[in-house]
Structure 1
Protein backbone atom coordinates (compact mmCIF):
# COMPACT_ATOMS: atom_id res chain seq x y z
CA UNK A 1 0.00 0.00 0.00
CA UNK A 2 2.83 2.40 0.82
CA UNK A 3 4.30 1.88 -2.65
CA UNK A 4 0.92 2.61 -4.26
CA UNK A 5 0.47 5.71 -2.08
CA UNK A 6 3.93 7.00 -3.05
CA UNK A 7 3.29 6.32 -6.74
CA UNK A 8 -0.09 8.08 -6.60
CA UNK A 9 1.45 11.08 -4.84
CA UNK A 10 4.22 11.34 -7.44
CA UNK A 11 1.75 11.18 -10.33
CA UNK A 12 -0.53 13.73 -8.67
CA UNK A 13 2.16 16.33 -8.13
CA UNK A 14 3.59 15.74 -11.60
CA UNK A 15 0.19 16.48 -13.08
CA UNK A 16 -0.07 19.67 -10.99
CA UNK A 17 2.82 21.31 -12.82
CA UNK A 18 0.54 22.40 -15.65
CA UNK A 19 -2.37 23.23 -13.34
CA UNK A 20 -0.99 26.28 -11.58
CA UNK A 21 -1.41 30.03 -11.52
CA UNK A 22 1.07 32.39 -9.93
CA UNK A 23 0.84 35.28 -7.50
CA UNK A 24 3.80 37.63 -7.50
CA UNK A 25 5.50 39.92 -5.02
CA UNK A 26 6.64 43.06 -6.81
CA UNK A 27 9.25 45.59 -5.83
CA UNK A 28 7.93 48.40 -3.69
CA UNK A 29 10.35 50.23 -1.44
CA UNK A 30 8.05 53.11 -0.59
CA UNK A 31 9.01 54.29 2.92
CA UNK A 32 6.23 54.31 5.46
CA UNK A 33 5.06 57.86 6.25
CA UNK A 34 4.11 58.84 9.77
CA UNK A 35 0.81 57.14 10.51
CA UNK A 36 -2.24 59.36 10.73
CA UNK A 37 -4.85 58.81 13.44
CA UNK A 38 -8.00 57.09 12.31
CA UNK A 39 -11.04 59.17 11.46
CA UNK A 40 -14.32 58.54 13.35
CA UNK A 41 -15.65 56.49 10.40
CA UNK A 42 -12.64 54.16 10.64
CA UNK A 43 -13.37 53.13 14.23
CA UNK A 44 -14.70 49.62 14.71
CA UNK A 45 -18.03 49.00 16.40
CA UNK A 46 -16.43 45.97 18.11
CA UNK A 47 -14.44 46.95 21.20
CA UNK A 48 -10.79 46.02 20.72
CA UNK A 49 -7.58 47.14 22.31
CA UNK A 50 -5.79 47.75 19.03
CA UNK A 51 -6.79 49.40 15.78
CA UNK A 52 -8.59 47.05 13.40
CA UNK A 53 -7.19 46.02 10.04
CA UNK A 54 -9.13 47.89 7.36
CA UNK A 55 -9.23 46.54 3.81
CA UNK A 56 -10.60 48.82 1.09
CA UNK A 57 -11.64 46.33 -1.60
CA UNK A 58 -12.16 47.96 -4.99
CA UNK A 59 -14.36 45.76 -7.18
CA UNK A 60 -13.25 46.17 -10.78
CA UNK A 61 -15.96 46.97 -13.28
CA UNK A 62 -15.16 43.76 -15.19
CA UNK A 63 -16.35 41.57 -12.30
CA UNK A 64 -19.74 40.11 -13.35
CA UNK A 65 -22.72 41.04 -11.24
CA UNK A 66 -23.41 37.41 -10.40
CA UNK A 67 -20.06 37.18 -8.60
CA UNK A 68 -20.81 40.04 -6.23
CA UNK A 69 -22.83 38.06 -3.64
CA UNK A 70 -19.96 35.59 -3.20
CA UNK A 71 -17.21 38.18 -2.68
CA UNK A 72 -17.39 38.33 1.09
CA UNK A 73 -18.29 34.73 2.02
CA UNK A 74 -15.96 33.03 -0.47
CA UNK A 75 -12.98 35.35 -0.66
CA UNK A 76 -12.87 37.35 2.57
CA UNK A 77 -14.60 35.46 5.38
CA UNK A 78 -11.96 32.67 5.63
CA UNK A 79 -8.98 35.04 5.82
CA UNK A 80 -10.82 37.36 8.22
CA UNK A 81 -11.37 34.47 10.62
CA UNK A 82 -7.70 33.53 10.33
CA UNK A 83 -6.44 37.09 10.86
CA UNK A 84 -8.71 37.72 13.85
CA UNK A 85 -7.32 34.58 15.49
CA UNK A 86 -3.73 35.35 14.50
CA UNK A 87 -3.59 39.03 15.42
CA UNK A 88 -6.31 39.58 18.01
CA UNK A 89 -7.55 42.48 15.86
CA UNK A 90 -10.89 43.04 14.23
CA UNK A 91 -10.86 43.09 10.41
CA UNK A 92 -13.22 45.30 8.41
CA UNK A 93 -13.74 45.20 4.64
CA UNK A 94 -15.08 48.27 2.83
CA UNK A 95 -16.18 47.48 -0.72
CA UNK A 96 -15.83 50.26 -3.32
CA UNK A 97 -17.77 49.86 -6.59
CA UNK A 98 -18.50 51.89 -9.70
CA UNK A 99 -15.91 54.52 -8.81
CA UNK A 100 -13.65 55.40 -11.73
CA UNK A 101 -10.73 55.80 -12.21
CA UNK A 102 -10.19 53.18 -9.50
CA UNK A 103 -12.66 50.51 -10.56
CA UNK A 104 -11.96 50.76 -14.29
CA UNK A 105 -8.17 50.73 -13.96
CA UNK A 106 -6.44 48.97 -16.87
CA UNK A 107 -4.65 46.31 -14.82
CA UNK A 108 -3.57 43.83 -17.49
CA UNK A 109 0.02 43.83 -18.70
CA UNK A 110 3.55 43.80 -17.36
CA UNK A 111 3.42 43.01 -13.66
CA UNK A 112 5.55 45.81 -12.22
CA UNK A 113 3.78 48.44 -14.30
CA UNK A 114 0.39 47.01 -13.36
CA UNK A 115 1.26 47.16 -9.67
CA UNK A 116 2.83 50.62 -9.88
CA UNK A 117 -0.25 52.04 -11.57
CA UNK A 118 -2.56 50.62 -8.94
CA UNK A 119 -0.29 51.81 -6.13
CA UNK A 120 -0.46 55.34 -7.53
CA UNK A 121 -4.26 55.20 -7.78
CA UNK A 122 -4.59 53.71 -4.31
CA UNK A 123 -2.34 56.41 -2.90
CA UNK A 124 -4.46 59.10 -4.55
CA UNK A 125 -7.65 57.59 -3.09
CA UNK A 126 -6.08 57.28 0.36
CA UNK A 127 -4.88 60.86 0.39
CA UNK A 128 -8.09 62.31 -1.06
CA UNK A 129 -10.13 60.56 1.63
CA UNK A 130 -7.61 61.38 4.37
CA UNK A 131 -7.31 57.69 5.23
CA UNK A 132 -4.56 56.32 7.49
CA UNK A 133 -1.11 55.62 6.07
CA UNK A 134 -0.25 53.02 8.69
CA UNK A 135 0.21 49.27 8.52
CA UNK A 136 -3.37 48.39 9.37
CA UNK A 137 -4.97 50.00 6.29
CA UNK A 138 -4.81 48.19 2.94
CA UNK A 139 -6.09 48.89 -0.60
CA UNK A 140 -6.83 45.90 -2.84
CA UNK A 141 -8.19 45.83 -6.40
CA UNK A 142 -10.38 42.77 -7.06
CA UNK A 143 -10.29 41.76 -10.72
CA UNK A 144 -12.15 39.21 -12.79
CA UNK A 145 -9.04 38.10 -14.69
CA UNK A 146 -5.32 37.80 -14.14
CA UNK A 147 -2.81 40.53 -14.80
CA UNK A 148 -1.16 38.20 -17.34
CA UNK A 149 -1.99 34.69 -18.54
CA UNK A 150 -0.38 33.13 -15.47
CA UNK A 151 -0.15 35.91 -12.87
CA UNK A 152 -3.36 36.33 -10.87
CA UNK A 153 -2.19 38.45 -7.98
CA UNK A 154 0.30 41.24 -7.22
CA UNK A 155 1.35 42.81 -3.95
CA UNK A 156 4.08 44.93 -2.46
CA UNK A 157 5.56 43.01 0.46
CA UNK A 158 4.62 44.81 3.68
CA UNK A 159 2.98 47.64 1.74
CA UNK A 160 -0.57 49.00 1.46
CA UNK A 161 -1.43 47.93 -2.09
CA UNK A 162 -2.31 44.72 -3.94
CA UNK A 163 -4.34 43.27 -6.81
CA UNK A 164 -6.11 39.90 -6.62
CA UNK A 165 -8.10 38.04 -9.24
CA UNK A 166 -11.30 36.30 -8.17
CA UNK A 167 -10.45 33.20 -10.18
CA UNK A 168 -9.15 31.37 -7.07
CA UNK A 169 -10.64 31.68 -3.60
CA UNK A 170 -7.33 31.84 -1.73
CA UNK A 171 -5.86 34.76 -3.69
CA UNK A 172 -7.37 37.50 -1.53
CA UNK A 173 -5.88 35.85 1.56
CA UNK A 174 -2.61 35.34 -0.26
CA UNK A 175 -2.18 38.97 -1.32
CA UNK A 176 -3.41 40.30 2.01
CA UNK A 177 -0.78 38.05 3.60
CA UNK A 178 1.93 39.66 1.48
CA UNK A 179 0.76 43.11 2.57
CA UNK A 180 1.19 41.88 6.15
CA UNK A 181 4.70 40.54 5.41
CA UNK A 182 3.91 36.83 5.02
CA UNK A 183 6.19 34.89 2.64
CA UNK A 184 5.90 32.17 0.01
CA UNK A 185 8.83 30.27 1.46
CA UNK A 186 6.95 29.62 4.71
CA UNK A 187 3.87 28.09 3.06
CA UNK A 188 3.02 24.40 3.34
CA UNK A 189 1.07 21.66 1.61
CA UNK A 190 -0.77 19.64 4.24
CA UNK A 191 -2.63 16.35 4.22
CA UNK A 192 -5.83 15.66 6.12
CA UNK A 193 -7.61 13.08 4.00
CA UNK A 194 -6.62 15.15 0.95
CA UNK A 195 -3.90 17.66 0.20
CA UNK A 196 -4.47 21.34 0.85
CA UNK A 197 -2.24 24.39 0.52
CA UNK A 198 -1.93 27.24 2.99
CA UNK A 199 -2.64 30.81 1.92
CA UNK A 200 0.93 31.71 0.96
CA UNK A 201 1.63 28.88 -1.51
CA UNK A 202 3.48 30.54 -4.40
CA UNK A 203 1.33 28.83 -7.02
CA UNK A 204 -2.35 27.92 -6.86
CA UNK A 205 -2.59 24.18 -7.47
CA UNK A 206 -6.05 23.52 -8.83
CA UNK A 207 -5.92 19.83 -7.90
CA UNK A 208 -5.45 20.70 -4.23
CA UNK A 209 -7.96 22.05 -1.75
CA UNK A 210 -7.45 25.15 0.41
CA UNK A 211 -6.36 25.01 4.03
CA UNK A 212 -7.46 28.66 4.46
CA UNK A 213 -4.81 29.28 7.12
CA UNK A 214 -1.33 30.75 7.37
CA UNK A 215 1.42 28.55 8.72
CA UNK A 216 2.72 29.23 12.22
CA UNK A 217 5.91 30.91 10.86
CA UNK A 218 3.81 33.21 8.66
CA UNK A 219 1.47 33.93 11.56
CA UNK A 220 4.48 35.03 13.58
CA UNK A 221 5.66 37.27 10.72
CA UNK A 222 2.21 38.89 10.59
CA UNK A 223 2.14 39.43 14.35
CA UNK A 224 5.66 40.88 14.25
CA UNK A 225 4.70 43.21 11.38
CA UNK A 226 1.77 44.58 13.39
CA UNK A 227 3.43 44.50 16.80
CA UNK A 228 4.27 48.20 16.91
CA UNK A 229 1.19 49.35 15.01
CA UNK A 230 -1.43 51.18 17.10
Structure 2
Protein backbone atom coordinates (compact mmCIF):
# COMPACT_ATOMS: atom_id res chain seq x y z
CA UNK A 1 0.00 0.00 0.00
CA UNK A 2 1.52 3.33 -1.07
CA UNK A 3 2.33 6.05 1.49
CA UNK A 4 -0.08 8.44 -0.27
CA UNK A 5 -2.92 5.92 -0.04
CA UNK A 6 -2.15 5.35 3.65
CA UNK A 7 -2.23 9.10 4.31
CA UNK A 8 -5.53 9.62 2.49
CA UNK A 9 -7.08 6.61 4.21
CA UNK A 10 -5.97 7.76 7.66
CA UNK A 11 -7.52 11.20 7.04
CA UNK A 12 -10.80 9.61 6.00
CA UNK A 13 -10.89 7.39 9.07
CA UNK A 14 -9.79 10.02 11.60
CA UNK A 15 -13.36 10.96 12.62
CA UNK A 16 -13.96 7.33 13.59
CA UNK A 17 -11.07 7.01 16.02
CA UNK A 18 -13.32 7.60 19.02
CA UNK A 19 -15.62 4.78 17.89
CA UNK A 20 -13.00 2.11 18.48
CA UNK A 21 -13.50 -0.18 21.46
CA UNK A 22 -11.16 -2.02 23.75
CA UNK A 23 -10.44 -5.53 24.93
CA UNK A 24 -8.90 -5.23 28.38
CA UNK A 25 -6.20 -7.06 30.31
CA UNK A 26 -6.54 -6.97 34.08
CA UNK A 27 -3.94 -7.79 36.70
CA UNK A 28 -3.83 -11.37 37.92
CA UNK A 29 -0.56 -12.60 39.39
CA UNK A 30 -1.72 -16.12 40.19
CA UNK A 31 1.45 -18.22 39.82
CA UNK A 32 1.56 -21.20 37.48
CA UNK A 33 3.10 -24.47 38.65
CA UNK A 34 6.45 -25.21 37.04
CA UNK A 35 5.08 -28.56 35.91
CA UNK A 36 1.28 -28.65 35.44
CA UNK A 37 1.30 -32.44 35.07
CA UNK A 38 2.04 -32.91 38.79
CA UNK A 39 -1.09 -31.05 39.92
CA UNK A 40 -3.81 -33.22 41.50
CA UNK A 41 -6.37 -32.13 38.90
CA UNK A 42 -4.15 -32.48 35.87
CA UNK A 43 -4.72 -35.18 33.30
CA UNK A 44 -3.73 -38.56 34.63
CA UNK A 45 -2.56 -39.87 31.27
CA UNK A 46 -0.51 -37.70 28.93
CA UNK A 47 -1.41 -38.54 25.32
CA UNK A 48 1.22 -39.04 22.67
CA UNK A 49 2.23 -35.78 21.02
CA UNK A 50 1.18 -32.37 22.22
CA UNK A 51 -1.72 -31.97 24.62
CA UNK A 52 -4.70 -30.18 22.99
CA UNK A 53 -5.84 -26.75 24.08
CA UNK A 54 -9.19 -27.18 25.85
CA UNK A 55 -11.62 -24.25 25.95
CA UNK A 56 -14.73 -24.48 28.11
CA UNK A 57 -17.00 -21.85 26.56
CA UNK A 58 -19.88 -20.80 28.80
CA UNK A 59 -22.65 -19.21 26.73
CA UNK A 60 -24.31 -16.53 28.83
CA UNK A 61 -28.09 -16.75 29.17
CA UNK A 62 -28.42 -13.36 27.44
CA UNK A 63 -27.09 -14.77 24.14
CA UNK A 64 -30.16 -15.44 21.95
CA UNK A 65 -30.64 -18.80 20.27
CA UNK A 66 -30.38 -17.15 16.85
CA UNK A 67 -26.86 -15.95 17.67
CA UNK A 68 -25.72 -19.19 19.30
CA UNK A 69 -25.81 -21.08 16.01
CA UNK A 70 -23.11 -18.83 14.54
CA UNK A 71 -20.78 -18.71 17.55
CA UNK A 72 -18.50 -21.59 16.58
CA UNK A 73 -18.11 -20.88 12.84
CA UNK A 74 -17.85 -17.11 13.25
CA UNK A 75 -15.96 -16.69 16.54
CA UNK A 76 -14.04 -19.91 17.19
CA UNK A 77 -13.24 -21.67 13.93
CA UNK A 78 -10.86 -18.97 12.57
CA UNK A 79 -8.98 -18.94 15.91
CA UNK A 80 -8.94 -22.75 16.11
CA UNK A 81 -7.39 -22.98 12.64
CA UNK A 82 -4.80 -20.34 13.52
CA UNK A 83 -3.83 -21.95 16.83
CA UNK A 84 -3.43 -25.36 15.16
CA UNK A 85 -1.07 -23.82 12.63
CA UNK A 86 0.77 -21.72 15.21
CA UNK A 87 1.22 -24.37 17.93
CA UNK A 88 0.80 -27.76 16.28
CA UNK A 89 -1.86 -28.57 18.88
CA UNK A 90 -5.47 -29.56 18.42
CA UNK A 91 -8.04 -27.20 19.94
CA UNK A 92 -11.16 -28.58 21.63
CA UNK A 93 -14.13 -26.33 22.44
CA UNK A 94 -16.93 -27.44 24.78
CA UNK A 95 -19.99 -25.19 24.95
CA UNK A 96 -21.86 -25.03 28.25
CA UNK A 97 -25.37 -23.54 28.28
CA UNK A 98 -28.18 -22.91 30.75
CA UNK A 99 -26.01 -23.79 33.73
CA UNK A 100 -26.40 -21.18 36.47
CA UNK A 101 -24.66 -19.60 38.27
CA UNK A 102 -22.02 -19.74 35.52
CA UNK A 103 -24.21 -18.77 32.57
CA UNK A 104 -26.21 -16.24 34.60
CA UNK A 105 -23.20 -14.37 35.99
CA UNK A 106 -23.73 -10.59 36.19
CA UNK A 107 -20.75 -9.54 34.12
CA UNK A 108 -21.37 -5.85 33.51
CA UNK A 109 -19.22 -3.56 35.66
CA UNK A 110 -15.68 -2.41 36.17
CA UNK A 111 -13.01 -4.51 34.51
CA UNK A 112 -11.33 -5.95 37.59
CA UNK A 113 -14.64 -6.65 39.34
CA UNK A 114 -16.04 -8.46 36.31
CA UNK A 115 -12.89 -10.53 35.96
CA UNK A 116 -12.52 -11.43 39.64
CA UNK A 117 -16.13 -12.57 39.90
CA UNK A 118 -15.86 -14.75 36.80
CA UNK A 119 -12.52 -16.15 37.93
CA UNK A 120 -14.10 -17.27 41.23
CA UNK A 121 -16.91 -19.02 39.34
CA UNK A 122 -14.47 -20.57 36.87
CA UNK A 123 -12.32 -21.94 39.67
CA UNK A 124 -15.44 -23.42 41.28
CA UNK A 125 -16.41 -25.15 38.02
CA UNK A 126 -12.85 -26.37 37.42
CA UNK A 127 -12.42 -27.81 40.89
CA UNK A 128 -15.89 -29.35 41.17
CA UNK A 129 -15.41 -31.10 37.83
CA UNK A 130 -11.85 -32.21 38.57
CA UNK A 131 -10.48 -30.31 35.57
CA UNK A 132 -6.80 -29.44 35.08
CA UNK A 133 -5.04 -26.46 36.58
CA UNK A 134 -2.90 -26.19 33.46
CA UNK A 135 -1.82 -23.85 30.72
CA UNK A 136 -3.82 -25.61 28.01
CA UNK A 137 -7.20 -25.43 29.81
CA UNK A 138 -9.24 -22.20 29.55
CA UNK A 139 -12.64 -21.07 30.86
CA UNK A 140 -14.28 -18.37 28.74
CA UNK A 141 -17.65 -16.68 29.35
CA UNK A 142 -19.33 -15.61 26.09
CA UNK A 143 -21.60 -12.61 26.52
CA UNK A 144 -24.14 -10.95 24.27
CA UNK A 145 -23.25 -7.44 25.45
CA UNK A 146 -20.14 -5.48 26.38
CA UNK A 147 -18.66 -5.56 29.89
CA UNK A 148 -19.15 -1.79 30.12
CA UNK A 149 -19.37 1.19 27.76
CA UNK A 150 -15.92 0.64 26.27
CA UNK A 151 -14.85 -2.95 27.02
CA UNK A 152 -15.55 -5.91 24.73
CA UNK A 153 -13.58 -8.52 26.65
CA UNK A 154 -11.51 -9.02 29.79
CA UNK A 155 -8.85 -11.49 30.83
CA UNK A 156 -5.46 -11.69 32.52
CA UNK A 157 -2.28 -12.55 30.68
CA UNK A 158 -1.39 -16.22 30.89
CA UNK A 159 -4.31 -17.19 33.13
CA UNK A 160 -7.22 -19.59 32.72
CA UNK A 161 -10.22 -17.25 32.84
CA UNK A 162 -11.69 -14.66 30.51
CA UNK A 163 -14.84 -12.96 29.23
CA UNK A 164 -15.57 -12.09 25.60
CA UNK A 165 -18.57 -10.59 23.87
CA UNK A 166 -19.88 -12.21 20.70
CA UNK A 167 -20.87 -8.78 19.42
CA UNK A 168 -17.57 -8.65 17.52
CA UNK A 169 -15.81 -11.49 15.66
CA UNK A 170 -12.37 -10.45 16.84
CA UNK A 171 -12.80 -10.75 20.60
CA UNK A 172 -12.79 -14.50 21.30
CA UNK A 173 -9.46 -14.91 19.50
CA UNK A 174 -8.16 -11.79 21.23
CA UNK A 175 -8.97 -12.95 24.77
CA UNK A 176 -7.77 -16.52 24.21
CA UNK A 177 -4.58 -14.99 22.82
CA UNK A 178 -4.08 -13.07 26.08
CA UNK A 179 -4.68 -16.26 28.07
CA UNK A 180 -1.79 -17.72 26.06
CA UNK A 181 0.34 -14.56 26.73
CA UNK A 182 -0.05 -12.84 23.35
CA UNK A 183 0.30 -9.06 23.64
CA UNK A 184 -1.26 -5.91 22.19
CA UNK A 185 2.14 -4.44 21.42
CA UNK A 186 2.95 -7.22 18.96
CA UNK A 187 -0.24 -6.86 16.91
CA UNK A 188 -0.40 -5.38 13.41
CA UNK A 189 -2.72 -3.74 10.93
CA UNK A 190 -2.20 -5.41 7.56
CA UNK A 191 -3.45 -4.94 4.04
CA UNK A 192 -5.02 -7.85 2.15
CA UNK A 193 -7.12 -5.91 -0.34
CA UNK A 194 -8.43 -3.87 2.58
CA UNK A 195 -7.06 -3.04 6.02
CA UNK A 196 -7.31 -5.93 8.49
CA UNK A 197 -6.38 -6.31 12.14
CA UNK A 198 -4.53 -9.25 13.66
CA UNK A 199 -6.18 -10.83 16.69
CA UNK A 200 -4.30 -8.86 19.33
CA UNK A 201 -5.01 -5.33 18.11
CA UNK A 202 -5.98 -3.40 21.28
CA UNK A 203 -8.80 -1.42 19.67
CA UNK A 204 -11.37 -2.81 17.26
CA UNK A 205 -12.08 -0.46 14.36
CA UNK A 206 -15.49 -1.11 12.76
CA UNK A 207 -14.16 -0.16 9.31
CA UNK A 208 -11.37 -2.74 9.32
CA UNK A 209 -11.74 -6.46 8.71
CA UNK A 210 -10.03 -9.16 10.76
CA UNK A 211 -6.96 -11.01 9.50
CA UNK A 212 -7.82 -13.87 11.92
CA UNK A 213 -4.14 -14.50 12.68
CA UNK A 214 -1.59 -13.86 15.40
CA UNK A 215 1.60 -12.14 14.30
CA UNK A 216 4.81 -14.19 14.25
CA UNK A 217 6.06 -12.53 17.49
CA UNK A 218 2.78 -13.38 19.24
CA UNK A 219 2.95 -16.93 17.87
CA UNK A 220 6.42 -17.16 19.39
CA UNK A 221 5.12 -15.93 22.77
CA UNK A 222 2.29 -18.48 22.72
CA UNK A 223 4.66 -21.34 21.90
CA UNK A 224 7.11 -20.23 24.57
CA UNK A 225 4.27 -20.18 27.13
CA UNK A 226 3.30 -23.73 26.17
CA UNK A 227 6.85 -25.01 25.77
CA UNK A 228 6.97 -26.84 29.13
CA UNK A 229 3.45 -28.26 28.73
CA UNK A 230 3.25 -31.77 27.24
Quickly name the TM-score band, shorter chain normalised.
over 0.9
Aligned-pair distance for 1:21? 1.0
Do the aligned partners of 1:138 and 1:161 also contact (CA within 8 Å) in 2? yes
Other-structure match for 1:70: 70
User: After TM superposition, which residue ranges in structure 1, 4 or more long, deviate above 4 angstroms?
Assistant: none
1:224 matches 2:224: yes
Other-structure match for 2:43: 38
Do the aligned partners of 1:56 and 1:95 also contact (CA within 8 Å) in 2? yes
Superposed, 1:199-214 pairs within 5 Å as: 199-214=199-214
1:133 matches 2:133: yes
Distance 1:173 1:81 in 2: 11
Aligned-pair distance for 1:132? 0.3
* Deviation digits for residues 138-159 of structure 1 (CA, Å, limit 9, x no counterpart): 0000000011011010011000
Other-structure match for 1:143: 143
Which range moves more in the overlay, 183-192 or 2-11?
2-11
Do the aligned partners of 1:48 and 1:90 also contact (CA within 8 Å) in 2? no
Give me the TM-score of the superposition, normalised by structure 2. 0.93
Aligned-pair distance for 1:16? 3.1
Give the 3 Å change call, closer, same or farther, for CA 190–130 of structure 1 in structure 2: same
Do the aligned partners of 1:22 and 1:202 also contact (CA within 8 Å) in 2? yes
Aligned-pair distance for 1:39? 6.0
Distance 1:212 1:75 in 2: 10
Distance 1:6 1:100 in 2: 49
Aligned-pair distance for 1:31? 1.6
Give the 3 Å change call, closer, same or farther, for CA 39–64 of structure 1 in structure 2: farther
Give the 3 Å change call, closer, same or farther, for CA 183–3 of structure 1 in structure 2: closer
Aligned residue pairs, count: 224
Distance 2:55 2:10 in 1: 39
* Deviation digits for residues 43-68 of structure 1 (CA, Å, limit 9, x no counterpart): 9xxx8601100000000000011001
Give the 3 Å change call, closer, same or farther, for CA 128–210 of structure 1 in structure 2: same
* Deviation digits for residues 122-169 of structure 1 (CA, Å, limit 9, x no counterpart): 000000000000000000000000110110100110000000001100
Other-structure match for 1:21: 21
Query: Aligned-pair RMSD on alpha carbons?
Result: 1.6
Distance 1:55 1:113 in 2: 22
- Give unpaired runs (5+ residues) of structure 2: none
Give me the TM-score of the superposition, normalised by structure 1. 0.93
Aligned-pair distance for 1:7? 4.2
Give the 3 Å change call, closer, same or farther, for CA 39–140 of structure 1 in structure 2: farther
- Give unpaired runs (5+ residues) of structure 1: none
